[in-house]
Chain A
Amino acid sequence: MSRTAPAAVSSTATIDLRDFFPNGDPQPSDAAATTEALRRADKALAKAGGGTLEIPPGRWLVEALPRDPSAAVILRTPGTTMRGAGILATILALAEGHDCHVLVIVAPGITVERLTIVGGLQHQPPEVLAGEAVPARRSHGISVRECPAFTLIRDVLIEDVVGYGIGSIIVRGGPKPEADPFVHVRMHNVTLRRIGDDGIDFKIDVDIDHPDPDGPDPARLGRLGPRGFLKNIAVVDHSVLGPNGTADRVRGENGVDARGQLHLQNIEVLRVRPGGWGKHGGAGITFRDETGPGGGVSSASHGRGGQWSTLQNYHLTRCPKPDYRNSAGAGVIAPPVLAPALHISNGTEVLLPGGPRFAPLLTRASRANDRVGEIVRRIRRPSVPEAATFAEMEPTLSKGDYTFFDFGGGFGASIAHYQSAFGGRGLGIEIEPDKVVAARAKGRPVVQGSLFEVPNRKLVRYVTADNVLEHLASIAEVEDALRVARGVADEFIYVRHPSFEDEDYLRSLGLSGTWVHRSGHRAHVRLSDYTAMATRLGIDRLEIHPVGLMTDSTDPEIVPLGTPKNDLTYDPARHASRPVIEFDREVFYAFDILFHLTRRPSVRLVYEGDPFLDRKRPILVREVGPMGWPRPTIASTTRRTRTLAGAAGDALPPSARQTLVRVVRKVR
């Protein structure tokens, strides 16, 4: 047998780390010598204008550079490949007593492949590992900075890192002549495990308040943003260190923290940590929203949100929340303002066993997002179905034709709202023919029919009933309506319902609420009725969000008893006098009730303002499952197909159309 150089190197120069040891004696355990050898090799590559640095098998210890103690190894020449002998064969490990980035990449066009990188997590003091103290520094496994572009990290394992596994995309000194920053950053086949902070973090780190006069224009960087391709990424145990020194071992860090335009495929994040008291937990994959006008730089977005990114094929497991006050780790976080500018699909998510089961829970809704991004929502125009009545179209309806049914569609306003706020394609079912005619005249998809004509087969993902159920004849009929909704929907039922909780209390004060006594409000269903119904219907998870808090009787919708039923605001000129009474309890205007039909909630409600003040309808945030598709079960997945769109599909006979199928990407 003979020995040759390995095939296919990208540059003419291929060098071997062992040839750069200062004393000519390569010993992997000699951290000072190895670090110096790597520094000399980097110099040689700079001289050669790039090339391949091969690192033989072994656990090579490295330490902080004497001249730059923030890093152990620096690669600074475009066109450089650092290649190990195999993902587990070559290991670059931080020596004990050192606390710095293991590998820093400061130039575009650098490849790192086939090796393991080990940070200093295991060398942290016991109190840090126990979550009782802050680590002195949060150094990274691989830190890509100055000009991240054309960077390729593949077939790499990164473990035991205090800070980010890969990250802190920092730009200093302006775009390089070789490349605009952030173009084509690729990570393929990368595993990160036991990471203190984020697994992979993308950010732009420029101080907007004190920009470097010689540096890049922050606003321009904001528009550039990282453009990355991440494929086959596994993150196991990130966010493992305590939050800035507090005692609970929680830090809200992300498996992948996505800022900038990223294409992610095949992403696995295991064991996302729960939050501690009052702390949000970790997250699997977070798409940051963009804050600041024009993509300006802020601490949250670091200059660039995650809009116009795609995520396909992911699997996440989340640790259970320790108790009900705490937060379970999040799965995929996509702020609602980004929703129209993200494509997220085909994921599965597991809440690891061990946590308490959810009980019916009265929560104040989160004010997760009250910022409005500069994103134009693309709302597909609804189309009016040919059939004018539900009875007429029911026999030909199949699953997927509509995303949701809006019970009591009225003039179609709620359809339009929920199509944009909840997503998907809706069909309103309205019993009053003249409302149907008016809605259809406005181009809204409403058909005439009773909600009790809706068949007991799964046709839609969800059902909405916005101020509708109280118009039914009785509480028993409301339960029947919920049963119908449960029969037809896969995921959840959303009900906006006026509050009848304090009807008796208000009456005892000589008062009423306009929403209580309004004509046509026949079924005064209270929350206890709803929870009892849910129990009888086998729905064991419902969420109740109170809306419109009133603290005293001066609210315009509080009127004296005896006020005509359809006078909807108090008018002192016409109505009897109204005592000013401070309520001794929280009186709400309405409730948003979400009945989850899935084993775990797939969605949550988010209010853009404060729901206690402005009574606006919420928008829906999909926590798990694909953004535009029904969360599929096996049964639904096989049917989750559409005939080929367009002329080609239409030209086929119906039988061929059924076999020639594909799932068309859903564009919201």
Chain B
Amino acid sequence: MDALQPSIDPEADNQAVIQACIDDAHARGGGTVVLPNGRCPIAGPLELRSNVTLRGTGMITTILAPITAPGTPLLVATELLAGATVEDLTVAGLAGAPDADATSDDDAQARPPAINGAAIDLVAGASFCFLRRLRLVDLPGGALRLTGGPIDHVYLEQIVVEGCAGDGIVVDPSGESTAVFLTEVSVRLFGRGTSSGSAGVRTRGRTFISQLHVQPVGRDACGLRLEAGSDHTVASNLFVGTAGGEAWSAEPGVTDVEVEALLVRDLLDVRQEKVFP
């Protein structure tokens, strides 16, 4: 089976060539587009298509990054996305090196202004989609959002968010959601520079959550936020490091939520630091 491998110019815009491969694979009824090692700058968002796999060579080796307007989402789906996969790559928000400033929360000047939406923004629902082994770094908006349609049989696995404004990961279906799985995900440094009320993970649909790591949760923020529509969510094996914010919370009216094996660390409590540095 042929995989499409666009030739990437690390110094120029590759949006058109990658998009052509995605569209080509979609036209064949499905296929895989493989991005090579290194940076893949794009000038505008790539439209994901149903039954197409977009794959890098590894979570840190293939880097999809904006070439100019750093505020733009990088991967979008404006129609219902079915049977698609995005895996094994980094999505970087800043046009510079993806590692720059990734772990420093001090220098607000270096960051672009916040935007709405998310770096990976599926705005018309998703069905039987896999988003996994992704590293989402230094994003001017949210990291990952699924919204605007049914969300069913969606697998969000092995995702690392390192620095974003607003929410880290948002699951916001219209109507009921079934079989949404979020496993082995870590969200660090979300809600930077922007808002109060942001969440590491925010869901408005029934979600299975296991092995989630969120840190730090600032004042007015929330590690895991369960909102209207997330009834019957089950979550287990969670770690949340809080710096004044809530580890998790549910909107009033959300019922039958089960949370188990929750480990909360108070980052402001120096005594903990002494016992468990």
A interface residue numbers (CB < 8 A to B): 1-7, 16, 54-58, 85-90, 155, 157, 189, 191, 231-232, 234, 236, 265-266, 268, 270, 312-315, 345-348, 350, 625-626, 629, 632-634, 637, 640-641, 648, 651-653, 655-656, 659-663, 665
Q: Is the CB of B236 within 8 A of A313?
A: yes
Within the complex, which residue of B5, B183, B250, B259 is in contact with A2, where a contact is CB–CB below 8 Å? B5
Please name the residue on chain B nearest to A89 by beta carbon: B30
Within the complex, which residue of A86, A345, A348, A659 is in contact with B266, where a contact is CB–CB below 8 Å? A659
Name B's interface SS: strand
Q: Which of B69-77, B106-114, B196-204, B269-277 contacts A (4 or more CB under 8 A)?
A: B269-277
Q: Is the CB of B29 within 8 A of A346?
A: no
Q: Is the CB of B178 within 8 A of A268?
A: yes
**B53 an interface residue at 8 Å Cβ cutoff?**
yes
Please name the residue on chain A nearest to B179 by beta carbon: A234
**B225 an interface residue at 8 Å Cβ cutoff?**
no
Residues of chain A within 8 A of B265, CB atoms compared: 659-660
Q: Is the CB of B257 within 8 A of A3?
A: no
Knowing A155-B130, A268-B208, A347-B258 are in contact, say whether A315-B234 is a contact too (CB < 8 A).
yes
Question: What is the CA–CA distance of A236 and B128 in the complex, to the nearest angstrom?
Answer: 14
Knowing A4-B5, A85-B1, A656-B269 are in contact, say whether A651-B260 is a contact too (CB < 8 A).
no
Max chain A CB contacts within 10 Å: which of B153, B209, B262?
B153
B223 to A: closest C-beta gap in Å: 13
Residues of chain B within 8 A of A632, CB atoms compared: 257-259
Knowing A86-B84, A626-B260 are in contact, say whether A189-B236 is a contact too (CB < 8 A).
no
Residues of chain B within 8 A of A626, CB atoms compared: 258, 260
- Closest 4 interchain pairs by CB? A89-B30, A88-B83, A57-B29, A57-B30
Q: Is the CB of B208 within 8 A of A315?
A: yes
Please name the residue on chain B nearest to A267 by beta carbon: B208
Q: Is the CB of B130 within 8 A of A3?
A: no
B interface residue numbers (CB < 8 A to A): 1-7, 17, 20-21, 28-32, 34, 50-53, 55, 57, 82-85, 128, 130, 153, 155, 178-179, 181, 183, 206, 208-210, 231-236, 250, 254-266, 269, 271-272, 275-276
Q: Is the CB of A345 within 8 A of B257?
A: no
Q: Is the CB of B257 within 8 A of A637?
A: yes
Knowing A4-B5, A86-B83, A634-B250 are in contact, say whether A348-B258 is a contact too (CB < 8 A).
yes
Q: Is the CB of A6 within 8 A of B234?
A: no
Within the complex, which residue of A88, A266, A313, A662 is in contact with B262, where a contact is CB–CB below 8 Å? A662
Knowing A7-B57, A312-B210 are in contact, say whether A346-B258 is a contact too (CB < 8 A).
yes
Residues of chain B within 8 A of A7, CB atoms compared: 3, 34, 55, 57
Please name the residue on chain B nearest to A235 by beta carbon: B179
Please name the residue on chain B nearest to A85 by beta carbon: B30
Within the complex, which residue of A4, A56, A232, A234 is in contact with B178, where a contact is CB–CB below 8 Å? A234
Knowing A234-B153, A266-B183 are in contact, say whether A86-B261 is a contact too (CB < 8 A).
no
Please name the residue on chain A nearest to B21 by beta carbon: A1
Q: Is the CB of A191 within 8 A of B264?
A: no
Q: Is the CB of A348 within 8 A of B83?
A: no
Question: What is the CA–CA distance of A645 and B28 in the complex, to the nearest angstrom?
Answer: 57
Q: Is the CB of A659 within 8 A of B4?
A: no
Q: Is the CB of A315 within 8 A of B259?
A: no
Q: Is the CB of B82 within 8 A of A57?
A: no
Residues of chain A within 8 A of B256, CB atoms compared: 348, 350
B51 to A: closest C-beta gap in Å: 4
Q: Would you mind naming 14 contact pairs between A and B with Cβ atoms under 8 Å apart?
A: A1-B17, A3-B2, A7-B55, A85-B30, A89-B83, A90-B30, A155-B155, A157-B128, A189-B130, A189-B155, A347-B234, A625-B258, A655-B271, A665-B261
Residues of chain B within 8 A of A270, CB atoms compared: 178
Residues of chain A within 8 A of B128, CB atoms compared: 87-88, 157, 191
Residues of chain A within 8 A of B234, CB atoms compared: 266, 313-315, 346-348
A635 to B: closest C-beta gap in Å: 10
Q: Is the CB of A57 within 8 A of B28?
A: yes
Question: What is the CA–CA distance of A90 and B30 in the complex, to the nearest angstrom?
Answer: 8
Question: What is the CA–CA distance of A629 and B260 in the complex, to the nearest angstrom?
Answer: 10
Residues of chain A within 8 A of B153, CB atoms compared: 157, 191, 234
A255 to B: closest C-beta gap in Å: 12
Residues of chain B within 8 A of A651, CB atoms compared: 275
Question: What is the CA–CA distance of A626 and B266 in the complex, to the nearest angstrom?
Answer: 27
Within the complex, which residue of B3, B85, B250, B272 is in contact with A6, where a contact is CB–CB below 8 Å? B3
Question: What is the CA–CA distance of A433 and B142 in the complex, to the nearest angstrom?
Answer: 64
Q: Is the CB of B20 within 8 A of A1?
A: yes
Q: Is the CB of B208 within 8 A of A345?
A: no
Residues of chain B within 8 A of A315, CB atoms compared: 206, 208, 232, 234
Within the complex, which residue of A4, A88, A89 is in contact with B34, where a contact is CB–CB below 8 Å? A4
Please name the residue on chain B nearest to A155 by beta carbon: B130
Residues of chain A within 8 A of B263, CB atoms compared: 661-662
Question: What is the CA–CA distance of A661 and B256 in the complex, to the nearest angstrom?
Answer: 22
Question: What is the CA–CA distance of A232 and B209 in the complex, to the nearest angstrom?
Answer: 10
Question: What is the CA–CA distance of A651 and B276 in the complex, to the nearest angstrom?
Answer: 11
Q: Is the CB of A648 within 8 A of B275?
A: yes
Residues of chain A within 8 A of B209, CB atoms compared: 313
Residues of chain B within 8 A of A665, CB atoms compared: 261
Please name the residue on chain B nearest to A314 by beta carbon: B234
Knowing A4-B34, A86-B83, A90-B30 are in contact, say whether A56-B232 is a contact too (CB < 8 A).
no
Residues of chain B within 8 A of A86, CB atoms compared: 30-31, 51-53, 83-85
Question: What is the CA–CA distance of A2 and B7 in the complex, to the nearest angstrom?
Answer: 7
Residues of chain B within 8 A of A633, CB atoms compared: 255
Residues of chain A within 8 A of B5, CB atoms compared: 1-4
Q: Is the CB of A652 within 8 A of B275?
A: yes
Q: Is the CB of B236 within 8 A of A345?
A: yes
Within the complex, which residue of A56, A313, A663 is in contact with B208, where a contact is CB–CB below 8 Å? A313
